[in-house]
Amino acid sequence: MHDGMPPAITFASVSKQFGAVVALDDVSFTAPIGSVTVLLGPNGAGKTTTVRLTTGAMLPNAGGIQVLGLNPLHDGDEVRRRVGVVPPKPAFYDQVTGWENLQFAATIFESDEVRARSAAERFGIDHALGQEVGGYSTGMRTRLALARAVIHDPEVLMLDEPTAGLDPESAKAVLELIKEMAGRGRTIVMCTHLLHEAEGIADQVVLMEEGSVRAHGDPRELARQYMPDPIVLLDAADRTSLDFIPELDGVLAIRWDGPLHVTIDDEDRIPDIVIEMVKRGVRPTRVEPLVPTLEDLYFEMQRSHRASV
Partner 1 sequence: MRWAMVKAVTRADLYRLFRTRDYWIPLVILGSMFFVVMPVLLLGSMALIQQQSSIVNQIGGIVGNLPDSIQQNIQGDSPTARASYAFAVYLLAPIAIIVPLTISSAVGANSIVGERERGTGEFLAHSPLKVSEIYIGKLLASLIPGYAAGIVGFGLYAVVVNLIVGPQLGGWFFPTAGWMLLVLWVVPPFIAIALALILRLSARVRSAASAHQASSLVTLPVILISYGVASGLLYSPVLSAAAAGFLAWIIALTLLASGAKSIKRERLLGVSADG
Q: What is the binding site for partner 1 (CB under 8 A)?
A: 17-19, 21, 52, 55-59, 76-78, 80-81, 83, 85, 87, 89-96, 100, 104-105, 107-110, 132, 148
Residue 16 CB, nearest approach to partner 1 (Å): 8
Which residue lies nearer to partner 1 by CB, 142 or 207? 142
3-state class (DSSP) for residue 225: helix
Which residue lies nearer to partner 1 by CB, 47 or 52? 52
Which residue lies nearer to partner 1 by CB, 61 or 285? 61
Angle between the N-to-C axes of helices 138-149 and 113-122, in degrees from 0 to 180, rounded to the nearest 10 = 140
Alpha-carbon gap, residue 197 to 192, rounded angstroms: 8
Which residue lies nearer to partner 1 by CB, 68 or 105? 105
Which residue lies nearer to partner 1 by CB, 96 or 194? 96
Residue 244 CB, nearest approach to partner 1 (Å): 58
The tally of CA atoms less than 13 A away on the side-chain side of residue 261 is: 13
Q: Which residues contact 98 (CB under 8 A, 6 or more apart)?
A: 92, 120, 125, 128, 129, 130, 131, 133, 136, 140, 144
Residue 43 CB, nearest approach to partner 1 (Å): 16
Alpha-carbon gap, residue 202 to 32, rounded angstroms: 12
Strand runs labelled E in 76-230: 83-86, 156-160, 187-192, 204-209, 212-217
Residue 232 CB, nearest approach to partner 1 (Å): 47
- The helix (run of H) or strand (run of E) holding residue 47 is helix 47-54
Alpha-carbon gap, residue 186 to 1, rounded angstroms: 9
Sign of torsion over alpha carbons 40, 46, 49, 54: negative
Which residue lies nearer to partner 1 by CB, 52 or 143? 52
Residue 26 CB, nearest approach to partner 1 (Å): 17
Q: Are the beta carbons of 212 and 309 closer than 8 angstroms?
A: no
Residue 96 CB, nearest approach to partner 1 (Å): 5
Residue 97 CB, nearest approach to partner 1 (Å): 9
Which residue lies nearer to partner 1 by CB, 81 or 305? 81
